[in-house]
A and B are shown apart, each in its own frame.
Chain A
Amino acid sequence: MGDFFTVASLVFVVGSGIRLATPFLLAGLGEAIGQRSGVLNLGVDGVMLLGAFGAYWTIYETQSPVLGVFVGLGVGLVMGVVYAVITVGLKAEQGISGIGIFLFGLGISDLLFQKQVGTPFPIRGFGDWHVPLLSDIPKVGEMFFQHSVLVYVAFALVPAVAFLLNRTTFGLNVRAVGENPAAADSLGVSVARVRTTTILMANTLAGLAGAVLSIELGIFQQNLTNGQGFIAIALVYFGAWRPVGVMGGALLFGLVSATVLQWKTLGLVSGAASSLTAMAPAVLTILALVVISRTVGQPAALTRPFERGH
């Protein structure tokens, strides 16, 4: 039985919370871009699984984490093309087709894992990169500046995505297409092209999120994500479609998970009670959804396929 409220323990929780938040953050940022353009992608979890397996298998075969990351990105991109054809080209119902993508990813990643690898064999990841100088700051360095390079990339994407959405012409088009596709179309913005681009970005980031998950854990197994992709979608609503908000939600989920793990390690809570704690982020998200739905509007054209003259 240890004490949770020691400096060392809290520093550890913050550090691992940030690490655990990374896949949520990457997938959530991608989903936010897509939703700002009016596209809901419920298939994130399936794409993450495929990306996670792609990265795992690549590293398993080649021992190269860098190559693994690129395969994760590539798998996401390919799934993005598929989803763009389905939702932009064929204008299918987004909520349901996303579930199809999820089942596809769930089954196929499991199939390939069983067939090509079989037993969970640990792979080599990136190792932690200590940021020069900053990582030497006592406590703070340990919490924020001694992570895998993938963690820094994910958090660096927060301002990048915010800039893209709020300060560029492309971002303006994305928001216009998400709010009023007919008006955007009449001004000469190609709704199909903008949405295809955001879908490709969203799925590529989901593939990366999966890659980060398997690389950081060093393993793959059936249903590795265990619903993390679905949580990432909810985080977009939680964060009111803003990258910083998504980051806040991702950190909340990451920190709560890390806290529960630490409590278990220290023997402060039983396994049973830790299940109760693990539901806290989901309950908080529901409450946040209630508040947000009253105060912030979602992109007006979310889930609506666009057709000229309708």
Chain B
Amino acid sequence: MGEWLRDRLARVAGPQLAGLLVPVAAVLAAFLIGAVMMLALGANPLEGYWALLEGAFGDVDALADTALKSMPLLLVGIGICIAFRASVINIGGEGQMIAGAIVSTLVALGFPDLPRVLLVPLVLVGGLVGGALWGALPGALKAYSGVNEILSTIMLNIVAVQLMNFLLRDPIMDPYEKEHGRLPQTERLSENSDLPLLPGGTRLHVGILVAVAMAGLAYVLLWRTALGYRLRAVGHSAAAARYAGMPVKRTIVAALTFSGAMCGLAGAILVFGSESHRFVTDGSSVGFTGSAGFNGIVTALFGGLHPLWTIPSSFFFGGLQFGANAMQRAVQVPAALIVGLNGLVVVFVVSSDRLRRVVGESLAQGRRIRSGESIDG
């Protein structure tokens, strides 16, 4: 626990007090802008936000639904932490989620009769593998061909969406739908692949435990293994890491592979934790992922690119997503507002580095001037 705890404590106690406040301030600023928008649309922002918070965190069922919403955000967020720590910008969360969903669905369709204790872990591994492949590809392209990973991951998102549409419209389409409804979806997948529900009578399933465990594992990976050390060293300075004799290229591939695996697991959990227990497409990636591939970037940034801090961060943003529906019902402001505000949070968090320095410098300057030192000195 040492390093991050020290880091956090130093921030709270030390001169970088602002460090911890940044994400909080970013959310407050975004919600202030949201409040102005609500006023402009003729709604009462206090009423709206109250409905949102109550809808998201008000009772046990709400908390369970919030946890369900936060699951993909957490897993993608963990993946983003791993990639960003290695200075690899993974924009391919959407495609990696789809790839994970595809492979895990194929596993469930291939071995429907395996007992549940085997099939459930197997489909989750399928998700990991699918996502890992979809992450390793842009990783290898970056490491060995110098292809910018931002672009290759964006392109692979498109490829994954079309692959999903193709598979769900023909090869693995529900035979019944093929004859009648033409809904692009699989048949109801084997009951032995359903993620077991947690006790308590809510819709919450074991996926949440898996996701939290992954956050712990990712923490161990990043801070307690040689590979994690290399990842962070490459992220800090690829040139220095190379000079120190580290295999930079392999490390970059590993970063995107692990990152993709987390996203792929999120995709598998979306399929096997769904109410319908089918893999369904509406033709777009957002229709399947709910933009989790992008929103995971928000939760990771908000969690300071730390897998463990990404847990509360994801829970918070999952709550916003789920509570947004209650807000929509209460004040008739569409839930899409929250998607927009998430974007603002990202913008504010990444802009704040500079802002913090500027503010810090001017404060320091003020102190120097007051104490009679020259500004240049």
Interface set of A (CB-CB < 8 Å, partner B)? 40, 42, 46, 86, 90-93, 95-97, 99-108, 110-111, 114-115, 222-223, 226-227, 230-231, 233-234, 237, 270-273, 275-276, 278-279, 282-283, 285-286, 289-290, 293-294, 298
Contacts and interface: CB of A to CB of B under 8 A. Distances in A.
B346 A234 contact: no
Contact of A92 (B145, B162, B350): B350
A104 B165 contact: no
A270 B169 CA distance: 9
B314 to A, nearest CB: 16
Contact of B337 (A111, A272, A282, A290): A111
A115 B334 contact: yes
Contacts of A40: 150
B152 A111 contact: no
A46 to B, nearest CB: 7
Contact of B145 (A96, A99, A105, A294): A294
Contacts of A270: 169-170
B147 A290 contact: yes
B341 to A, nearest CB: 7
A164 to B, nearest CB: 24
A110 B339 contact: yes
Contacts of A283: 155, 159
B294 A99 contact: yes
Contacts of A101: 343, 347
Interface in B158-177: 158-159, 162-163, 165-166, 169-171, 173
Given A96-B89, A286-B152, A290-B141, A104 B344 contact: yes
B340 interface: yes
Interface in B245-300: 284-286, 291, 294-295, 297-298
B158 A282 contact: yes
Nearest to A302: B148
Given A272-B169, A282-B155, A289 B148 contact: yes
Interface in B91-145: 91, 141, 145
Given A92-B350, A92-B354, A270-B169, A104 B343 contact: yes
Contacts of B171: 272
B342 A290 contact: no
Contacts of A294: 145-146
B41 interface: yes
B150 A226 contact: no
B284 A226 contact: yes
Interface in B296-351: 297-298, 301, 332-334, 336-347, 350-351
Contact of B338 (A42, A107, A271, A282): A107
Contacts of A282: 155-156, 158-159, 162
Nearest to A106: B339
B156 A105 contact: no
B210 interface: no
Contacts of A222: 336
B135 to A, nearest CB: 15
24 contacts: A42-B91, A86-B350, A93-B350, A96-B350, A101-B347, A102-B343, A105-B340, A107-B339, A108-B336, A226-B284, A230-B158, A231-B158, A237-B151, A272-B173, A275-B165, A275-B166, A278-B165, A282-B156, A285-B151, A289-B155, A290-B141, A290-B147, A293-B148, A294-B145
